Amino acid sequence: MRTRKDITKRVDIEMLVKSFYDKVNADPLLGPIFTKVNWEKHLPLMSDFWENLLLYTGSYQGNPMDLHKHLHKVMNLQPEHFQHWNKLFIATVDENFKGANALVAKQRAMKISGIIQTQILPPKTEGR
């Protein structure tokens, strides 16, 4: 078993992002959502996003909310998509890393997922 270390540099983030999306693509629930993704563009963009969130590089330029709103219109995202995304992301972090930044990555992933979900999915009403 290899020793897990913390996320401390770009190469760590690139490995996390690639490992995570390998899982997503193989997943029966999430994989179909990503069939038309241009991976040559998406993986570096996601690495920029996470590098900025964890290492404060300022490397990410984009609006994830608008992208997810559009995706929801096309794919009709549901709460289970977000829950499963969170599960795969946390598992990927835990398999590869441990430490303060690994914990922050998981916390921020959950928070961002929750914010996106509340912004794009209709609110639940009681009795339904």
pLDDT at position 89 over 80: yes
List of residues 6+ apart from 47 with CB closer than 8 A: 10, 13, 14, 17
Task: From residue 98, give the alpha-carbon distance in Å to each of 9, 13, 51, 80, 107.
Answer: 14, 13, 16, 26, 13
pLDDT at position 127 over 80: no
What is the rounded distance in angstroms from the CA atom of residue 2 to the CA atom of residue 30?
Answer: 28
The whole-number pLDDT of residue 93 equals 98
List of residues 6+ apart from 54 with CB closer than 8 A: 7, 13, 101, 104, 105, 108
Domain 10-120: give its CATH architecture: Orthogonal Bundle (1.10)
Q: Which of 12-26, 38-52, 85-99, 110-124 has the lowest mean pLDDT?
A: 110-124
- pLDDT tens-place string over residues 21-72: 999 999 999 999 999 889 999 999 999 999 999 999 988 888 888 888 888 8
Q: What percent of the chain has pLDDT over 70?
A: 95
